[in-house]
Amino acid sequence: SQQGEEDPQALSIQEGENATMNCSYKTSINNLQWYRQNSGRGLVHLILIRSNEREKHSGRLRVTLDTSKKSSSLLITASRAADTASYFCATDGGNQFYFGTGTSLTVIP
């Protein structure tokens, strides 16, 4: 089931620019995860941030979490054409797993 919401639904940027995607959720969580999906491929895990963390970095990725607002953001810096994909957030509340609706990112070379 998908109960999260992401915005924007679609994002198109020039190579080298930064891309920011946002995710909002409704339930209390243990952690929040970001995934990417390329066409015809399964989800690939990018980064996990726990509920007691506020910010996390992994390479060109930066994730923030605001549990008071029930929201998270994913920032991809210095984007590349290969970053073109769909990005999903997922929240793990312990008993259930909820996915956002996804953001389609297009990076124009």
Partner 1 sequence: GAVVSQHPSRVICKSGTSVKIECRSLDFQATTMFWYRQFPKQSLMLMATSNEGSKATYEQGVEKDKFLINHASLTLSTLTVTSAHPEDSSFYICSVEGRRHTEAFFGQGTRLTVV
Q: How far is the CB of 13 from partner 1 (least distance, A)?
A: 15
- Closest approach of partner 1 to the CB of residue 107, in Å: 14
Shorter beta-carbon distance to partner 1: residue 41 or 69? 41
Structure token pair of residue 69: 């607002």
Closer by beta carbon to partner 1, 42 or else 109: 42
Q: CA separation (Å) from 50 to 33, 34, 64, 70?
A: 9, 12, 10, 13
Binding site for partner 1 (CB under 8 A): 1-2, 10, 30-31, 33, 35, 37-45, 48, 86, 88, 90, 92, 96-97, 99, 102, 104
Q: How far apart, in whole angstroms, are the C-alpha atoms of residue 53 and residue 59? A: 18
CB closer to partner 1, 39 vs 68? 39
